[in-house]
Amino acid sequence: MHEARLITAGEAILEATDLAMAADPTVILMGEGVADPKAIFGTTANLAQKYGPQRVIELPLSENGFTGVAIGAAMNGLRPIIVHQRVEFCLLAMEQLINNAAKIHYMSNGAHRAPIVVRLIVGRGWGQGPAHSQSLEALFAHIPGLKVVMPSSAQDAKGMLLASIQDDSPVIFIEHRWIHYAKGHVPPGMHVTPLDGPHQLRKGDAVTVVSNSYLTLETIRAADELAKMGVLVDHFDLRVIRPLNVDPIVESVRRTGCLVTIDTGFMTYGIGAEIVSRVMERCCLQMKAAPRRIGLPEHPTPSSRSLAAAYYPRSPDIAAMIAEVAGAPEARIADLRSRLSAERDSVPLDIPHHSFQGPF
Amino acid sequence: MSTTVKAQKFDGMAKPLALYRAMLRIRRIEEEIARRYPEQEMRCPVHLSIGQEATAVGACAALRQDDQIVTSHRSHGHYLAKGGDLNAMMAEIYGRATGCCGGRGGSMHLFDDRVSVLASVPIVGSFIPLGTGAAMSYRNANQDRVCIVFLGDGAIEEGAFHESVNFAALKKLPVVYFMENNGYSCYTNLADRQPDRPLPDLAKAYGISSAQVDGNDVIAVHEVTTAAVARARAGNGPSLIVADTYRWLEHCGPNYDNDIGYRTPQEFQSWRERCPVESLASRLIADRTLTNDAQATLISEINAEIESAFKFAIASPFPDPATVRDHVYA
């Protein structure tokens, strides 16, 4: 009866929200589209009917205003979940998140709490373009008082959303749109995954690899191929961007002497930069090679698939970078890259898999 | 729906006297802060509310203890009018551990759950959604509370005002948007920031009630706010109150600044003559509700309380630096 079923992360998010709302009447859901027929890509489907308009609140287009409304309600004991269909809409609400949500507990000397969850969806592909595809976790992670979570699997999407809703601090919960399609064995019921840091996906002594969100899936594929050529990586899915628990990564780098970070966001001033700095502060003398970072290049996301083709790092790029750090010969790196490219090129670059037919 | 409420003759009962005492207390406290600010021991920005006592006192007197308020950087008067602890406020301004926020907030962040001061935050407009959300929470908790959002004339220029009032009107939330129109945003006149139109008409855009009131007449403020609070509590939704008043001192700090060129000494003088505290005092004395002796007693009581609060603040310990990282996460 309690066996995990194979469901998508999108379905897992809906299940977690439903469970949390059933268990706790103070949990409310707010967003532009939470009660509409599309129901945020199905992740809020039927909740409006089940819990009514006082708990599932369809909102006017007032991102900063309704974020403040959620914070005010949270200070009085509610646990609002806010949803934005794209990260960029939340940029209109940065004032409330940074000035109020992140600081209410601190500046009230612990008297007030702002237990809100802000679900942000990162778009990718199908020409999403400059303002529908940004992975801006570094902006939120810069602010003390906010927690930032990025699941890469259906199991974590459910378990960590439940943990985020139960958390007494504001949590920015960043869902890559392509992760919504990721299937996993998800246990039913209140299966809470603590927001305690990186999850080790693979053990190995060659290179420590830290990835997050959708790029964890590309990295898993890269690591599989690397294993076939004898390069065993110590692979961590970062999951919790802030507060950053770097201890398991430092322990790993002490063994491997090599570090590669892989971000869904911009590389410059990104999560990888923070991880590399923290690791180097603690074990730079044990390094066998310079740490390397993968992230997005120094320009906005173009819409046209021809311009976007080289924009996103993919499994061949990730595998090649890791192999290079591990000191693999050039010929073998080229072979590795071509094998992974052949596989990845069987799916158009602007969609996650063949079933995806746009528009979102 | 917009109505202009004129000051009615007060009834000579105890309430006007209580309102007078509350205003006088705020006036004397702010004057003492201004007097001692040059000692360089209150090391945070202070936005004093001298001249604006009637709005804070008249409005807060319309609330129950469990009704909440949110306010801005100019919050001393609101905090005190809502029943805030003077010792805790002074200690906060002095950066002491005994402050209402343990020294983490300073003058611009006065929070006190004991008297339902939900928040004061200094980013103009930022607090408007907080009070709106507080009002939403009452409904989910089946409470008949009301929240007053104190905002200035500058705050209505912020998107947060429109977003909040639209939402509150849509959901008929029990919130009163109380605008203290002191005519200036820092040093910029209202006429240089907004088109000339009746401010209460803003409410028409949202289909909510509004009223304009002499913000220096505490009795009138109290009456109009009482009506708006009753309407909110009865489930009839939000309203907007526009109370015209005047900030006597500089935007931030202890000084008069009528000489720096953004407003005229004549303009100041015309408002000075309409002092909310003195005008009520003369009405109360004329009406024999207040005698000169009783007034002197009130003043000496208040002065003693203020002296004691400053002593308390100055004698209080600073917060332990080892606690600086506490309360980042709940």
Taking only the tens place, the pLDDT of each residue in B224-246 is 999 999 999 999 999 999 999 99
Q: Considering only CB atoms, which residues of chain B are within 8 Å of chain A?
A: 68, 70, 101-105, 109, 111, 113, 118-119, 121, 123, 126-141, 159-160, 162-164, 166-167, 170, 326-330
Interval B249-290: pLDDT, tens: 999 999 999 999 999 999 999 999 999 999 999 999 998 999
Q: Kindly state the tokens that stand for B221.
A: 């403020």
Any domain includes A178: yes
pLDDT at B7 over 80: no
- Which residues 6+ apart lie within 8 Å of A100 measured at CB? A68, A71, A114, B119, B121, B126, B130
The sheet carrying A199-202 orders its strands as A199-202, A233-237, A207-211, A259-266, A292-296
pLDDT at B12 over 60: no
Any domain includes A114: yes
Interface test with A, best of B75, B100, B104, B136 (most A CBs within 10 A): B136
Number of domains in chain A: 2
Q: Which position has the higher pLDDT, A307 or B69?
A: B69
Report DSSP state, residue B10.
P
Name the nearest CA neighbour of B62 among B40, B81, B35: B81
Any domain includes A2: no
b/e per residue A255-279 (b: at least 16 CB within 10 A): ebbbbbbbbbbbbeebbbbbbbeeb
Residues A58 and A146 occupy one common structural domain: yes
CA B218, CA B54: separation in Å to the nearest integer?
4
CA B278, CA A96: separation in Å to the nearest integer?
40
Point out the least confidently predicted range of A86-100, A122-136, B303-317.
A122-136
Interval A252-299: pLDDT, tens: 999 999 999 999 999 999 999 999 999 999 999 999 999 999 999 999
b/e per residue B215-242 (b: at least 16 CB within 10 A): bbbbbbbbbbbebbbebbbeeebbbbbb
Helices B14-36, B276-286: axis angle to 10 degrees equals 140
* Three-class DSSP labels, B109-136: CCCEHHHCEEEECCCCCCHHHHHHHHHH
Q: Do the beta carbons of residue A211 and residue A133 sit within 8 Å? A: no
Predicted confidence at residue B1, as pLDDT, reads: 37
Q: Do the beta carbons of residue A233 and residue A207 sit within 8 Å? A: yes
Q: Do B130 and A72 touch (CB under 8 A)?
A: yes
Cα–Cα–Cα angle for A323, A329, A331, nearest 5°?
100
Question: B18 vs chain A: nearest CA distance in angstroms?
Answer: 30
Residues of A in contact with B159 (CB under 8 A): 62, 64-65
For residues B67-83, give the mean pLDDT: 97
User: What CATH number does residue A236 fall under?
Assistant: 3.40.50.920
Count of alpha carbons within 13 angstroms of residue B101, beta-carbon side:
28
What share of chain B has pLDDT > 90, as a percent?
Answer: 95
CA B70, CA A281: separation in Å to the nearest integer?
44
Which residue bears the tokens 């006192």? B57
Q: What is the DSSP string of A165-182?
A: HH-SS-EEEEEEGGGGG-
Predicted confidence at residue A2, as pLDDT, reads: 61
Q: Do A108 and B136 touch (CB under 8 A)?
A: no
pLDDT at B8 over 60: no
Report DSSP state, residue B104.
S
Residues A52 and A178 occupy one common structural domain: yes
Residues A143 and A204 occupy one common structural domain: no
Q: Do A169 and B70 touch (CB under 8 A)?
A: no
pLDDT at A360 over 70: no
- Which uninterrupted H or E stretch holds B242? strand B239-244
Q: Do B133 and A99 touch (CB under 8 A)?
A: no
Question: Is B275 exposed, middle or buried (CB count within 10 Å of its CB: 0-12, 13-18, 19+)?
Answer: buried
Question: A99 vs chain B: nearest CA distance in angstroms?
Answer: 8
Residues A43 and A176 occupy one common structural domain: yes
Any domain includes A327: yes
CA B65, CA B145: separation in Å to the nearest integer?
10
Q: Under CATH, domain B2-316 is a member of which superfamily?
A: Thiamin diphosphate (ThDP)-binding fold, Pyr/PP domains (3.40.50.970)
Question: B160 vs chain A: nearest CA distance in angstroms?
Answer: 5
Q: Pairing mode, if any, of strands B175-181 and B147-152?
A: parallel
Residues A78 and A48 occupy one common structural domain: yes
Number of residues that this document lists for chain B: 330
State which residues form the domain around A315: 199-344
pLDDT at B69 over 90: yes
Residues A84 and A19 occupy one common structural domain: yes
Residues A306 and A283 occupy one common structural domain: yes
pLDDT at A358 over 80: no
Residues A43 and A171 occupy one common structural domain: yes
Phi, psi of B68 (to 5 degrees): -105, 160
For residues B73-77, give the mean pLDDT: 96
Question: Cis peptide leading into A359, omega within 30 of 0?
Answer: yes
Number of residues that this document lists for chain A: 360
3-state helix, strand, coil in chain A (%, to 5): 40, 20, 40
Residues A168 and A24 occupy one common structural domain: yes
Residues of B in contact with A70 (CB under 8 A): 133
Residues A274 and A306 occupy one common structural domain: yes
Phi, psi of A101 (to 5 degrees): -55, -45
Phi, psi of A181 (to 5 degrees): -90, -10
pTM of the model: 0.95
CA B303, CA B86: separation in Å to the nearest integer?
12
Question: A296 vs chain B: nearest CA distance in angstroms?
Answer: 30
Q: Kindly state the tokens that stand for B315.
A: 């004698």
Name the nearest CA neighbour of B29 among B311, B310, B313, B306: B306
CA A141, CA A147: separation in Å to the nearest integer?
7
A4 DSSP β-pair partners: none
User: What CATH number does residue A131 fall under?
Assistant: 3.40.50.970
Residues A270 and A172 occupy one common structural domain: no
Interval A307-319: pLDDT, tens: 988 899 999 999 9
Q: How confident is the model at residue B2 (pLDDT cuts 50, 70, 90)?
A: very low
CA B120, CA B122: separation in Å to the nearest integer?
7
- Which residues 6+ apart lie within 8 Å of A114 measured at CB? A71, A74, A75, A100, A101, A104, A105, A169, A170, B330
State the distance between the two ends of chain A, measured CA to CA, in whole angstroms.
35
Q: Kindly state the tokens that stand for B69.
A: 């308020």
- Which residues 6+ apart lie within 8 Å of B92 measured at CB? B99, B100, B101, B103, B105, B106, B107, B109, B110
Question: Cis peptide leading into A243, omega within 30 of 0?
Answer: yes
CA B125, CA B122: separation in Å to the nearest integer?
8
Residues A176 and A248 occupy one common structural domain: no
In chain A, which residue's Cα lies nearest the Cα of B107? A107
